[in-house]
Amino acid sequence: MFKRLLALFTFACVLFLFFMPQASLAAPEITIKADAGLQNKVKYEKGLPVQFTITNNGSDFSGELVLNYSETYSLGAGLSVPVELAEGETKTIQVAIPGLSDMVSMGGPSTQTIFLYEGGWEDGKAINFKGSKSLSPGFFYPNSLFIGTLTDNPDRLLPLNQISPAGSESTHVFHLNQLNQFALPTEAMAWETLDYLLIDEVAYSDLPEAVQQAVLQWVQQGGHVVAGSTENIAASMGNLSSYLPLELGEEGTAEVQPLAKPVPAFSATIKEGADPLLEKDGKVLAARQKIGAGSLIQTGFSLGDQTVSSQQEYVQLMSNLLALNTNSNSMMTQGESLKEIMSYEVGNVNELFESFAVSKTLVMGIILLYILLIIPVLYIVLKKRDKRELAWVIIPVAALVTSIGIFAIGAKDRIANPQIQQTGFFEADQDSGLNGYYMNTLLSNRGGDYHFAAPSGTTMTFRQNTQFSEGAQQQSAILEQQATQNTMTLRDMRYWSVGSVIGQSYIEKTGNFDIQLAVEKKTIKGTIQNNFPFALEDVSIWTGTRLMALGNLAPGEQLAVNQTVQSDILPSASPISSTFAYQPIADKEQLKKARKQTILSMAYNQFKDNESSPYVVAYTNDAIVPISLEDQRASVSAVHLIAQPFKPDVNLTGEVSLNADTFELQVSGSSYFENVTDDPYLFYMDKGKFELTYAVTDAVDLKKTEWQELAVTAAKQNLTVSILNAKTGKAEEISGSQQSITEAVGNYVSPQGEIKFVVENNSANGEPELTMPKIKLKGVVAP
């Protein structure tokens, strides 16, 4: 008996020693440290880098980290990151996401957004880990100024911190190559958080090729690089060297406005296609070369040289170079991103499919035929043959066949393949690229997962139906990033359900319009040629709120233009509202028309920040966005708006009269303001002072123009309105609702063609809506 008890005790001890230590040793012990943005600072509505430092103090680990991110209130996904860690190993992994908001934290302060799966997110097991369970960055509004630098000595660029453009919430300077434990991003999306990248005497060409390619792609999609000049700048600028706008000569000294003292500078000639930014006595000191939707600015002097950056006027110089006094007409502290607005404005139409509509006439006909056959006909036939007992079989069978028939009518277009509606709007640039936004909506034909693939230049995020619940993003969609392409999985879609992917895309070397137009005697004449590889329909000229219909264009085809206009100066494109926003859509043609009108209305939100000019616009039915459904064939219906700005040739001589709609109005101020409705002069404004800048159209040759009259119309409201005398620099109050200036009118128009006003909202609580002053300018242009 004793031996038996001893054996049992020994066996129990062995089991305890075998299982308990092995279990603890077999489990990975993971610690995660997560940082978002630059120095943990994130700008709403912009892409950003996210860096994970992962340490494994246990056994080998193979699995995936999933980050739940909410880009906006209704946009987000789970980002999957493969993780391979040996015992005792630490790795730093950097990824990029298209945006981050604090919407997830609204589900509660303890909401977990970082998850770890052993084996993978699809079939793996979620495991516990230590450290960061969520991202906790500081959030900044889109009007905050984020400047990144590449420099060997941050002290050279200290004055950049003093830049404070009107309307900006704050200024932040990040010396990227000097940040501790931070790798320069290899994803263009991660660079979106910057407004400008300044390169100060650093060998940019020594950066990894993946980093250089990411920066170039970011610039093509709207980023801006500023580079100072050195003797070997052409060799040191890597893949940006071919875009440098200046050809440098010998080094000497030059006077650079507004600096008080001369600085070392190179003589330079401007390259073809570049625009001069700074000139003095015929010498070009800075120029800009457009690259896609972005630009490269080069100065003829060093950005961080002590003789330059130590001068008191350096801050103003950099503000002028970066055009920091030009602001969008909103300070949207409570606003929405373009993709968020698109999610419901375009989504409400794009998520309606033609197959949703069933012919009421056909269905009613089947039902009436069924009733007719079952009641009188069947009764008469069976009674005549004395087979009324067969009704118990015939009626259920007929009902079943009728139900199947009605189902087949409604489902005939939904069963065979999934359906996709792709809708977007794109602007053509001078490099024949297309930059814009799209929505890809899927109607499933089965339950389960669906996989979309797109190149790195096309972002993807998912339109969420559920917000604020823990893990909601990854339960709806998972984004996986690879070297050459990204994949988004729409998870567990129900039978005949709808899911939408929204993103931004830059499509290189697609084509353009060859626009040869001139305006004379209130007539616009010329030709427009389609240099895109796809057909275009409803080609129009968009000027003001008017669309001048011209026709359709096949690839390579040209059409002649001869249209009457109201003035020799074409107004810039203005908002055109959609008439389908709240109306039922009855058929296929109305659905297509509604898709066209919604993207036309949305497109203005993108175009107004890029160009102030009329546009040639058209639509294509080709699925031009490089996003595809994997492992399945889908029926695709595409509608995309293609737009290109243009400036017609205008030969203005003699008397000219510029009405209010020919001016571009820019508003800046430290208090909240927002342009409302489709009226460019109607604003919400808090109490405070605001600067208004009216820009004279480029069609007027300022050097040949003598201004004779400036008429100002100001609505009677709680606004104090003053006009800035460009010659004296003093503000002169406008008394009354209408005032006409006829003496020394040129003193109020700057050499750059700008007329500036200062308005002060004196209302204690702020007026709900205020109308800005409107101006009319008359003059004579010499031949």
Q: Which pLDDT does position 588 carry in this prediction? A: 78
* Percent over 70 (pLDDT), the chain: 85
Tokens 């911190």 belong to which residue? 161
Q: Is the dihedral of CA 463, 466, 470, 472 positive or negative?
A: negative
pLDDT category at 708 given cuts 50, 70, 90 is very high
Q: Which pLDDT does position 558 carry in this prediction? A: 97
pLDDT category at 683 given cuts 50, 70, 90 is confident
State mean pLDDT over 528-554.
95
Q: Which pLDDT does position 641 carry in this prediction? A: 98
Helix (H) or strand (E) holding 404: helix 391-411
Give the range among 41-45, 160-164, 204-208, 602-606 with minimum mean pLDDT: 602-606
Who has greater pLDDT, 578 or 773? 773
pLDDT category at 60 given cuts 50, 70, 90 is very high
Q: Of 391-405, 531-545, 764-778, where does the model show the most confidence?
A: 531-545
Residue 328 pLDDT exceeds 90? no
Average pLDDT, whole number, for the chain? 86
Give the range among 101-105, 527-531, 769-773 with minimum mean pLDDT: 101-105
DSSP assignment of 672-739, as one string?
Answer: -EEE-TT-TTEEEE-SEEEEEEEEPPTTS-GGGEEEEEEEEE--SSSEEEEEE-TTT--EEEPPSSEE
Q: Is the dihedral of CA 729, 734, 739, 743 positive or negative?
A: negative
| Domain 26-136 annotated CATH 2.60.40 | yes
Distance between CA atoms of 424 and 426, rounded to whole angstroms? Answer: 7
Helix (H) or strand (E) holding 341: helix 338-345
Residue 600 pLDDT exceeds 80? yes
pLDDT category at 452 given cuts 50, 70, 90 is very high
Residue 272 pLDDT exceeds 50? yes
State mean pLDDT over 593-618.
85
pLDDT category at 521 given cuts 50, 70, 90 is confident
**CATH class of the 145-321 domain in this structure:** alpha beta
Residue 20 pLDDT exceeds 50? no
Distance between CA atoms of 324 and 170, rounded to whole angstroms? Answer: 13
Give the range among 197-201, 354-358, 493-497, 741-745 with minimum mean pLDDT: 354-358
N-term to C-term CA, the chain: 124
Q: How far, rounded to the nearest angstrom, does the alpha carbon of residue 684 sit from its chain's CA centroid?
A: 24
State mean pLDDT over 461-485.
79
* Percent over 90 (pLDDT), the chain: 55
State mean pLDDT over 37-57.
95
User: Could you tell me which residues are beta bridge partners of residue 56?
Assistant: 30
Distance between CA atoms of 589 and 578, rounded to whole angstroms? Answer: 16
State mean pLDDT over 375-402.
70
765: Cβ contacts below 8 Å, ≥ 6 apart: 687
Q: Which pLDDT does position 21 carry in this prediction? A: 42
Domain residue limits, the chain: 26-136, 145-321, 337-447+494-649, 654-781
DSSP assignment of 428-443, as one string?
Answer: E-TTS-EEEEEEEEEE
Q: 569-590, pLDDT tens digit by residue?
A: 888 888 876 554 445 666 778 8
Give the range among 55-64, 311-320, 550-559, 734-743 with minimum mean pLDDT: 734-743
Residue 496 pLDDT exceeds 50? yes
Distance between CA atoms of 689 and 671, rounded to whole angstroms? Answer: 8
pLDDT category at 18 given cuts 50, 70, 90 is very low
Whether 635 and 686 have beta carbons less than 8 Å apart is answered as no
Q: What is the spatial order of strands in the sheet that 770-771 belongs to? A: 673-675, 682-685, 770-771
Q: Which pLDDT does position 372 carry in this prediction? A: 67
Distance between CA atoms of 675 and 691, rounded to whole angstroms? Answer: 14
Residue 775 pLDDT exceeds 80? yes
Residue 610 pLDDT exceeds 70? no
Who has greater pLDDT, 69 or 109? 69
Q: Which of 562, 477, 473 is nearest to 516 (CA)?
A: 562
Q: What is the 3-state secondary structure (H, E, C) of 173-240?
A: EEEHHHCCCCCCCCCHHHHCCCCEEEEECCCHHHCCHHHHHHHHHHHHCCCEEEECCCCCHHHHCHHH
Q: Which pLDDT does position 255 carry in this prediction? A: 92
Instruction: Identify how many contiguous H helices and E strands the chain contains and give both numbers.
Output: 13, 47
State mean pLDDT over 241-256.
94
On the question of a cis peptide bond just before residue 109, with omega within 30 degrees of 0, the verdict is no
State mean pLDDT over 165-194.
91
Residue 274 pLDDT exceeds 90? yes
Q: Which pLDDT does position 335 carry in this prediction? A: 60
**Among the CATH numbers 1.10.1060, 2.10.25, 2.60.120, 2.20.28, which is that of 654-781?**
2.60.120
Residue 17 pLDDT exceeds 60? no
Looking at residue 89, its amino acid is: E
Structure tokens at 224: 């801006």
Distance between CA atoms of 166 and 163, rounded to whole angstroms? Answer: 10
Quote the pTM value: 0.86
Distance between CA atoms of 276 and 245, rounded to whole angstroms? Answer: 9
How many CB atoms neighbour CB 54 within 10 A? 22
Give the range among 227-236, 314-323, 364-373 with minimum mean pLDDT: 364-373
State mean pLDDT over 441-461.
93
Residue 329 pLDDT exceeds 60? no
